[in-house]
Amino acid sequence: MSKELSHIDKAGKATMVDVSEKGISVRTAIASGRVTFPKEVFALLAAQDFLGAKGSIIQTAVIAGIQAVKKTSELIPLCHQLNLSKVQIDITPSDNVLNIRCKVKCNERTGVEMEALTGVSISALTIYDMCKALSHDISITSIQLEEKTGGKNDFNR
Protein backbone atom coordinates (compact mmCIF):
# COMPACT_ATOMS: atom_id res chain seq x y z
CA MET A 1 0.00 0.00 0.00
CA SER A 2 1.56 3.31 -1.07
CA LYS A 3 -0.92 5.67 0.57
CA GLU A 4 0.31 8.22 3.09
CA LEU A 5 -1.39 10.17 5.85
CA SER A 6 -2.39 13.52 4.38
CA HIS A 7 -2.26 15.52 7.62
CA ILE A 8 1.29 14.51 8.66
CA ASP A 9 4.31 16.06 6.91
CA LYS A 10 7.63 14.29 6.22
CA ALA A 11 8.96 15.46 9.60
CA GLY A 12 5.98 13.86 11.39
CA LYS A 13 4.29 17.15 12.23
CA ALA A 14 0.59 17.87 11.91
CA THR A 15 -0.23 19.97 8.86
CA MET A 16 -3.30 21.27 7.10
CA VAL A 17 -3.57 19.95 3.54
CA ASP A 18 -2.99 22.59 0.86
CA VAL A 19 -6.05 22.44 -1.39
CA SER A 20 -5.31 25.64 -3.34
CA GLU A 21 -4.39 23.74 -6.51
CA LYS A 22 -7.47 21.50 -6.46
CA GLY A 23 -10.43 22.29 -8.65
CA ILE A 24 -13.76 23.35 -7.24
CA SER A 25 -16.44 20.69 -7.66
CA VAL A 26 -19.70 19.62 -6.10
CA ARG A 27 -18.80 17.51 -3.07
CA THR A 28 -21.26 15.37 -1.14
CA ALA A 29 -20.96 13.00 1.78
CA ILE A 30 -23.44 10.82 3.62
CA ALA A 31 -22.76 9.38 7.06
CA SER A 32 -24.88 7.25 9.35
CA GLY A 33 -25.06 6.05 12.92
CA ARG A 34 -27.35 4.41 15.45
CA VAL A 35 -28.58 5.09 18.96
CA THR A 36 -29.80 1.88 20.59
CA PHE A 37 -32.07 1.89 23.64
CA PRO A 38 -33.22 -0.70 26.17
CA LYS A 39 -36.52 -2.12 24.92
CA GLU A 40 -38.66 -0.58 27.68
CA VAL A 41 -37.09 2.88 27.25
CA PHE A 42 -37.62 2.84 23.49
CA ALA A 43 -41.24 1.76 23.96
CA LEU A 44 -41.83 4.66 26.39
CA LEU A 45 -40.21 7.18 24.03
CA ALA A 46 -42.13 5.87 21.01
CA ALA A 47 -45.41 6.02 22.95
CA GLN A 48 -44.67 9.72 23.62
CA ASP A 49 -43.79 10.38 19.94
CA PHE A 50 -40.20 10.99 21.10
CA LEU A 51 -41.25 14.06 23.05
CA GLY A 52 -39.46 14.53 26.35
CA ALA A 53 -39.46 17.11 29.13
CA LYS A 54 -36.85 19.05 27.12
CA GLY A 55 -38.94 19.02 23.91
CA SER A 56 -38.82 16.99 20.72
CA ILE A 57 -35.90 14.60 21.01
CA ILE A 58 -35.63 14.05 17.27
CA GLN A 59 -35.99 17.68 16.19
CA THR A 60 -33.55 18.89 18.85
CA ALA A 61 -31.01 16.29 17.66
CA VAL A 62 -31.50 17.39 14.03
CA ILE A 63 -30.86 21.04 14.91
CA ALA A 64 -27.83 20.13 17.04
CA GLY A 65 -26.42 18.05 14.20
CA ILE A 66 -26.86 20.87 11.69
CA GLN A 67 -25.14 23.32 14.04
CA ALA A 68 -22.28 20.86 14.52
CA VAL A 69 -21.81 20.38 10.77
CA LYS A 70 -21.36 24.15 10.44
CA LYS A 71 -18.73 24.13 13.22
CA THR A 72 -16.70 21.10 12.12
CA SER A 73 -13.58 23.12 11.29
CA GLU A 74 -13.67 24.58 14.82
CA LEU A 75 -13.91 21.12 16.39
CA ILE A 76 -11.44 19.14 14.24
CA PRO A 77 -8.16 21.05 14.05
CA LEU A 78 -7.02 20.27 10.50
CA CYS A 79 -10.39 20.54 8.73
CA HIS A 80 -10.91 23.38 6.26
CA GLN A 81 -13.69 25.92 6.66
CA LEU A 82 -16.24 25.22 3.96
CA ASN A 83 -19.17 27.12 2.49
CA LEU A 84 -21.88 24.52 2.79
CA SER A 85 -24.72 24.31 0.29
CA LYS A 86 -26.94 21.76 2.05
CA VAL A 87 -27.18 19.86 5.32
CA GLN A 88 -29.91 17.26 5.77
CA ILE A 89 -30.25 15.10 8.85
CA ASP A 90 -32.87 12.38 9.04
CA ILE A 91 -33.57 10.44 12.23
CA THR A 92 -35.87 7.44 11.91
CA PRO A 93 -36.99 4.92 14.51
CA SER A 94 -36.75 1.15 14.06
CA ASP A 95 -36.52 -1.75 16.54
CA ASN A 96 -35.23 -0.06 19.73
CA VAL A 97 -33.01 2.16 17.58
CA LEU A 98 -32.94 5.69 16.25
CA ASN A 99 -31.12 5.63 12.91
CA ILE A 100 -29.31 8.84 11.96
CA ARG A 101 -28.34 9.82 8.43
CA CYS A 102 -26.57 13.07 7.57
CA LYS A 103 -26.03 14.35 4.03
CA VAL A 104 -23.79 17.35 3.42
CA LYS A 105 -23.14 19.14 0.13
CA CYS A 106 -20.86 21.98 -0.98
CA ASN A 107 -19.04 23.42 -4.00
CA GLU A 108 -15.44 23.40 -2.78
CA ARG A 109 -11.88 22.15 -3.23
CA THR A 110 -12.18 19.54 -0.48
CA GLY A 111 -14.82 17.13 0.68
CA VAL A 112 -17.39 17.10 3.45
CA GLU A 113 -16.88 13.65 5.00
CA MET A 114 -15.87 15.06 8.38
CA GLU A 115 -18.88 17.38 8.38
CA ALA A 116 -21.28 14.49 7.73
CA LEU A 117 -19.65 12.35 10.42
CA THR A 118 -19.74 15.26 12.87
CA GLY A 119 -23.44 15.82 12.18
CA VAL A 120 -24.24 12.19 12.96
CA SER A 121 -22.05 12.19 16.08
CA ILE A 122 -23.54 15.31 17.64
CA SER A 123 -27.08 14.26 16.76
CA ALA A 124 -26.44 10.96 18.55
CA LEU A 125 -24.91 12.67 21.58
CA THR A 126 -27.89 15.02 21.76
CA ILE A 127 -30.28 12.07 21.76
CA TYR A 128 -28.26 10.47 24.57
CA ASP A 129 -28.29 13.72 26.56
CA MET A 130 -32.05 14.09 26.24
CA CYS A 131 -32.74 10.45 27.19
CA LYS A 132 -30.10 9.64 29.83
CA ALA A 133 -32.53 10.39 32.67
CA LEU A 134 -34.45 7.27 31.59
CA SER A 135 -31.39 5.02 31.28
CA HIS A 136 -27.63 5.17 30.91
CA ASP A 137 -27.77 1.87 29.00
CA ILE A 138 -28.02 3.69 25.66
CA SER A 139 -25.44 2.86 22.97
CA ILE A 140 -24.13 5.06 20.18
CA THR A 141 -22.76 2.79 17.46
CA SER A 142 -21.95 2.29 13.80
CA ILE A 143 -20.98 5.87 12.97
CA GLN A 144 -19.54 5.57 9.49
CA LEU A 145 -19.16 7.17 6.10
CA GLU A 146 -21.68 5.69 3.66
CA GLU A 147 -20.84 7.63 0.53
CA LYS A 148 -18.76 10.50 -0.79
CA THR A 149 -18.64 12.06 -4.24
CA GLY A 150 -16.91 14.87 -6.05
CA GLY A 151 -13.27 14.35 -5.13
CA LYS A 152 -10.60 12.38 -6.90
CA ASN A 153 -11.78 9.20 -5.12
CA ASP A 154 -15.50 8.57 -4.77
CA PHE A 155 -16.64 6.07 -2.14
CA ASN A 156 -19.78 4.04 -1.67
CA ARG A 157 -20.17 1.51 1.15
Can you give the pLDDT at residue 55? 87
**Active-site option among 9, 18, 49, 129:** 129
Can you give the pLDDT at residue 70? 98
Can you give the pLDDT at residue 7? 83
Cα–Cα distances in angstroms (integers) from residue 52 to residues 48, 68, 127, in the given order: 8, 22, 11
User: Is there a catalytic annotation at residue 129?
Assistant: yes
pTM of the entire predicted model: 0.93
Can you give the pLDDT at residue 88? 98
Can you give the pLDDT at residue 64? 98
In SS3 terms, 126-154 reads as HHHHHHCCCCCCCEEEEEEEEEEECCCCC
Can you give the pLDDT at residue 2? 61
Can you give the pLDDT at residue 67? 98
Can you give the pLDDT at residue 114? 97
Please write the tens of the pLDDT for every residue from 43-82: 999 999 999 777 899 999 999 999 999 999 999 999 999 9
- Positions in the chain whose pLDDT score sits under 70: 1-2
In 7-154, DSSP assigns E strands to 25-36, 51-52, 55-56, 84-94, 97-108, 139-149
